[in-house]
Amino acid sequence: MARHGGRGWYGRLIAAAVGVTAVAAATSVWTAQAGQPGGGSDGTARHSAPKPAHVSETIAHASDGGAHAVNITIDDGPDPAWTPQVLQLLRDNGVKATFCMVGTQAQAHPDLVKKVVAAGHRLCDHTVSHDTTMDKKSTAYQSQQILDAERQITKASGGVRPMYYRAPGGAFTPYSRHLAASHGMRPLGWNVDSKDFERPGTDAIVNTVRTELKNGPTILFHDAGGDRSQTVAALRTLLPWLKQQGYTFGFPVR
């Protein structure tokens, strides 16, 4: 899987994660999953919830909608400028999607996280600070990034947990896949990288998706990390086109 470059704005997010230990993160999330009172690693109150069921550690690419379904996945938000526009397009076309959220973005915009959930979309953990080199980091660091983001997203949503984990830039490790699965989050890959993050132009994004759709059903888009007007314009074209081609829309397999 390709790794996206040029994400300078994420550097500022990494600072938000400094000083949070993996032990505190794991303890706070485990306590909440066990339904016991406890606090997050930032001292905030935790939502009590049952421990989620274990899911497969393998990276999901298929759709639960069957052989002629596609999965729309939206990464890096939520963003106050672009996420509402993406939500409106999905609503207009009757499409459900999976939103892979950066923990600090979810924490900053809980209203948008709640709108995503209320519209029937699914949540995915995309780590705290979107470090595309995290597969080269310690297991303690990987744990902090994944579990703190799970906590941040769950709190922002009002208690709805992420169902998937997508490593930034596809930087999965056996450890991160196992950890995510043990917390009920299926590792999530993609088959079609729309390349929208690079802002190559709306036509280029549309053509990439149309050309690469033969590779599989899970399509990667972004609703944050910069100007996403090309993504919005491409979705405005692609969603009706996919329906015209006879595709339905599903969620990644769990």
Q: How many CB atoms lie within 10 A of CB 136?
A: 11
Determine the residue type at 76. D
* Catalytic residue check, 222: yes
- Are the beta carbons of 149 and 105 closer than 8 angstroms? no
Catalytic residue (choose from 4, 75, 79, 126): 75
Set 4, 135, 222, 223: catalytic member? 222
The answer to whether 72 touches 95, Cβ cutoff 8 Å, is: yes
Which residues contact residue 21 at a Cβ distance below 8 angstroms, ignoring those fewer than 6 apart?
41, 140, 144
End-to-end CA distance of the chain: 20
User: Buried b / exposed e across 154-177, counting CB within 10 Å, b at 16+?
Assistant: bbbbeebbbbbbbbbbbbbeeebb
Task: State the catalytic residues.
Answer: 75, 222
